[in-house]
Structure formats: structure tokens, C-alpha cells
Amino acid sequence: MKKIINNPNDVVKEALEGMQMAYKDKLEYVPGFELIVRKELKNKVGIISGGGSGHEPLHAGYVGEGMLDAAVAGNIFSSPSPDRISEAIERVDKGEGVLLVIKNYSGDIMNFGLSKDMAEADDKKVATVIVKDDVAVEDSTYSTGRRGIAGTVFVHKIAGAMAEKGASLEEVERAANKAIANIRSMGMAMSACTLPAVGKPGFVLAENEMEVGMGIHGEPGIERTSIKSAKETAKILLEKILKDYDYSNSEVALLVNGLGATPLMELYILNREVCNLLEEKNIKVYKNMVGNYTTALDMSGCSLTLMKLDNELKELLDAPCDTPAWKNC
């Protein structure tokens, strides 16, 4: 295992410390609770998300103006504990309520749910939305129903922009759920990731193999097949998304996401093929994002995400924001 780390047991804490040092004028690191919190909190609905570490820049990279107010980090690929989530709620609650954006994994559902219950027992207003954008599987051993993957980034943006406008908790929750309803994602992997504490990949794909539909923790996909060209890969991933949801004659936000070890050159080539296919199907790309937005440590692979847009979602997507991973748009 070749990684730029110290003690494998300290990677989450040290990564968050390093991040705070890079953005010390805007972000606060809360040791012990492993939180990244926006320094200048406003009197508005607070937006919190989080989950297991290893998916950087998700979630802490989206803390800042126009997106999240706090991100809660668990250990690598493990849900954060309720005490960490509760601390985040306490810090960002300014009396207008708090929205928790949760990816659809059983540990996250349980721990964020417990924190919500405890906060409500203290008379705090807390709402939750659950992201489940992965069309690869309906059920898996890691989640109840569909997994939440890179589409989570769009939910952060929509919810954060709505809250920044001064909307009520109910309005922010509605906008986030509207985004979720219009988002679908599909991914593939060409290699496994290596957990720092384990020191070796969790599985092995042959040199000429790829797995279609693999999850961001290495969950099984729907098909293991020979390596395909960028054009073929784009078609496979996009067909699965379009079969699941009707994007015809619409405008979309397109995210071509790297899983950690895929060069940008390859992501841009894939983006070219996806955009060409969408044009053929009379689907207009309103906003196109390419890069590492939701990763899986050092996994080689990618995912595609589409969000169908209307005027409201366009306005929220275009609203100003300033975070480490998503700057003013």
C-alpha cells in the first residue's frame, strides 16, 4: 500500500485538520466530533450532511456559503455516530430549523434519525431528506433501497441555495425533495479501493475487466464485463439512467464524476460521449460539471448523474456559492 498518510487510524482527523488549515478564514474544525462547520453562520435554516469518510470532497468540501453549514465525518466508509451529528445540529441551529441531507445507507439512516429524535425532544425543528439516486440496484446488503451517491452534491446545492434565500424549513425540505425526485446516477469501476487500515484492495478486477453499477464503498454491481471504450461506457451508463426516468425533451444538469483515480483526461473524453448521446436524444445540457465530486478513495472509475431542471431548480443551481469543492457558479 502506497499512501501519503501517518497512522492509518488518524487519517480522518488529520485530513480535516489539514482542510481547516487550507480554508481557515471560512471553515472551523471541531476535534473529537470530526465536524467541519461554516465559520460565518447566518440566521437561516441550517443544512447538515455527512457520512463515512473516503468520499472527498464529499461532504466537507461543500461547507460554505450557499451549500452546507456543517459536515459530519464518520470513519472510513462508516456512518458518523449520533453524538457527532447532534453536535452539528447544536452548532448550526439558529432557531429557523435544521435540514439533514442523508444518503440512503442503513447506518446513516439510523444515526441521523436518532439525532433528529433527540433534537426534537429538545424542541428543535429538524427535517430530513434521503438521497437515493443510484439506479444500479433497488436493494443491496448495504442499504434499504437505492444507494445515495454523487447526486447528493446537487441536493446540497439546491437545499443550500434555498436556505440562503431565507426560506422556511418546510420550503427548503420541499426543494431538496424536488431535486431528489429528478436525480438519477449510475457508475462503474475498473479497480477496487484500498482502505488505509486494511492495506490492500477489497477485491480484484482483472486487467481487462470493469464492473458496471458498483457502489462507492465497493458494493457489488450488476455486471462484470470486459473493458469498454468511452463511447460504449457512456451508452451503458446513460441507457440505464434514461430507462429509469424520463428526461426526454428536457434540460438537465450533467455531472461526470471521477471516483478518485481516474484522470481528468478520461473523464473529459467520457463527457464528450455523454453530451453527444444526450444531444441525439434531444436532451439539452444546461450545466455540465466534470471532475472528482464524490470519490471512493483510490478507486478507478466514474459515475454519471442527471438532474432534470425547471425554472426553480435552474435558479437555485445558478445561485452564488463559495465552498472548497464548488465555487461561485
Reply yes or no on whether the pLDDT at 53 is more than 60: yes
Give 143's pLDDT tier (boundaries 50, 70, 90): low
At residue 199, the pLDDT reads: 80
Please give the pLDDT value at position 142. Answer: 58
Say which amino acid occupies 166.
Answer: G
Annotated catalytic residues are 55, 217
User: Is 0.85 topped by the overall pTM?
Assistant: yes
Task: Report the alpha-carbon distance of residue 54 to residue 52 in Å, rounded.
Answer: 7
Positive or negative, the Cα torsion across 216, 218, 224, 230? positive
The amino acid present at 20, given as its one-letter code, is: Q
Residues 242-253 pLDDT 10s: 999 999 999 999
Does the structure show a pLDDT above 80 at 179? yes
In this structure, the strands spanning 126-131 and 209-212 are: unpaired
Mean pLDDT of 195-217: 88
Measured CA angle at 326 (ends 110, 116), to 5 deg: 20
Cell 471541531, located at residue? 30
Mean pLDDT value of segment 102-124:
97
Helix (H), strand (E) at residue 155? helix 152-164
Is the pLDDT score of 329 beyond 60?
no
Q: Report which of 302, 308, 73 is spatially closest to residue 181, judged by C-alpha positions.
A: 308
Q: Are the CB atoms for 43 and 95 separated by under 8 Å?
A: yes
Give CA angle at 215 (214, 220), nearest 5°: 50
pLDDT-above-90 percentage for the chain: 89
- The residue-averaged pLDDT of 192-207 equals 85
β-pairing, 46-53 with 98-103? parallel
User: For the chain, how long is the longest CA-to-CA vector?
Assistant: 56
What CA–CA distance (Å, rounded) separates 244 from 240?
A: 6
What is the pLDDT, as a whole number, of residue 140? 55
Instruction: Please write the tens of the pLDDT for every residue from 221-248.
Output: 899 999 999 999 999 999 999 999 999 9
Chain centroid offset of residue 322 CA: 17
Predicted confidence at residue 138, as pLDDT, reads: 78
139 has pLDDT over 60: no
Q: Is 236 helix (H, G, I), strand (E, B) or coil?
A: helix
Encode pLDDT of 183-192 as tens digits.
Answer: 999 999 999 8
